Amino acid sequence: MSIKRQKYTRLTLTYLVILMMFVIILYPLAWVIGSSFNPGQSLSGSSIIPKHATFAHYQFLFDTNKSNYVYWYLNSLKISVLTMLFTVILVSLTAYSFSRYRFVGRKNGLVTFLILQMIPNFAALIAIYILATLTHLLDTHFGLICVYVGGQIPMNTWLMKGYLDTIPKELDESAKIDGAGHLRIFFQIIMPLAKPIIAVVALFAFIAPFGDFIIASILLRTEKNYTLAVGLYDMVAKQFGNEFTTFAAGAVLIAVPIAILFLSFQRFFVSGLTAGGTKG
């Protein structure tokens, strides 16, 4: 076989693999979007391209007299945004401390974070529930935010620390010579250079609460306090309310804020993720 033919063969196989992965990834998404425009509530008659497309399911979701979807959406946005903000602030300070300072218990702290990031939040559901009950944070968004922020700190601290380690410490030393203090170095020198990893941490911290079901279903009790995941599950779990096409419409809308945030941070995402994982 000639070199030219081998090249075309490899190129053809590469495109076939890419096409297969493209279909595998997009088919479920296209099916959910198509189902959201199909009339009726059953999935048996749904198709990717609806014959009689309708916006009735979307209208139903945004009718506050018939559905609490708007409240669930706002709750999820509030929880995700606040979790993202608190996580970025706490992780930035923690990662900067571990990256730039040497103190007693530093190595043990890093090892502890490494162990904690291996344990998912739902593994401590009983402890979380009891703690929320004792602190009167059950059925509150603040309690849920505290759990999410606490769960985000270990992994993201390691990720951001790895990135901050790649920033030359000579910059800090030069700033100290010029009279800059620790906070000024942190805010005016380190943080502007750490924009890529901040974008990565912010995206991770936003997505996790938006799609979480287990912890939210344990802590939230009032229907108007539900997040999207809990509310949509409750919608299809009712004994006589298998509203699967309405569920599909609600699921499609979940992707909107995540897609907007990802596209906004896209130019930082790849460089921040790769740099953060190269050095510990």
Residue 146 pLDDT exceeds 90 = yes
**47 and 9, same structural domain?**
yes
% pLDDT > 90, the chain? 26
> What per-residue confidence (pLDDT) applies to 269?
66
pTM of the predicted structure, to 2 decimals:
0.83
**149 and 52, same structural domain?**
no
**Cβ neighbours for 174, distance < 8 A, ≥ 6 positions apart:** none
**93 and 37, same structural domain?**
no
Q: What is the pLDDT of residues 2-20, one digit of tens each?
A: 777 778 888 889 899 999 9
Burial of 28 (0-12, 13-18, 19+ CB in 10 A): exposed
Query: What is the C-alpha separation between 22 and 144, in angstroms, rounded?
Result: 36
Structural domain total, the chain: 2
Q: Which residue has the higher pLDDT, 271 or 157?
A: 157
Residues 62 and 69: beta-carbon distance below 8 Å: yes
Could you tell me the residue range of the domain that residue 12 belongs to?
Answer: 3-57
> CATH code at 265?
1.10.3720.10
**19 and 125, same structural domain?**
no
DSSP 86-148: HHHHHHHHHHHHHHH---TTHHHHHHHHHHHTTS-GGGGHHHHHHHHHHTT-TT-HHHHHHHH
Would you place residue 34 in the very low, low, confident or very high pLDDT band (cuts 50, 70, 90)? confident
**215 and 148, same structural domain?**
yes
DSSP 16-60: HHHHHHHHHHHHHHHHHHHHHTSSSS-STT--SS-SS---HHHHH
Which residue, chain included where needed, has tokens 């190269």? 278
Residue 149 pLDDT exceeds 90 = yes
Residue 43 pLDDT exceeds 50 = yes
Residue 276 pLDDT exceeds 80 = no
**269 and 130, same structural domain?**
yes
% pLDDT > 70, the chain? 90
Q: What is the pLDDT of residues 67-122, one digit of tens each?
A: 889 999 999 999 999 999 999 999 999 999 998 888 888 888 888 888 877 777 77
**46 and 149, same structural domain?**
no
**267 and 132, same structural domain?**
yes
**258 and 176, same structural domain?**
yes
Query: What is the C-alpha separation between 264 and 240, in angstroms, rounded?
Result: 41
Phi, psi of 138 (to 5 degrees): -70, 140
Would you place residue 278 in the very low, low, confident or very high pLDDT band (cuts 50, 70, 90)? very low
> What per-residue confidence (pLDDT) applies to 141?
94
**258 and 193, same structural domain?**
yes
Phi, psi of 217 (to 5 degrees): -70, -25
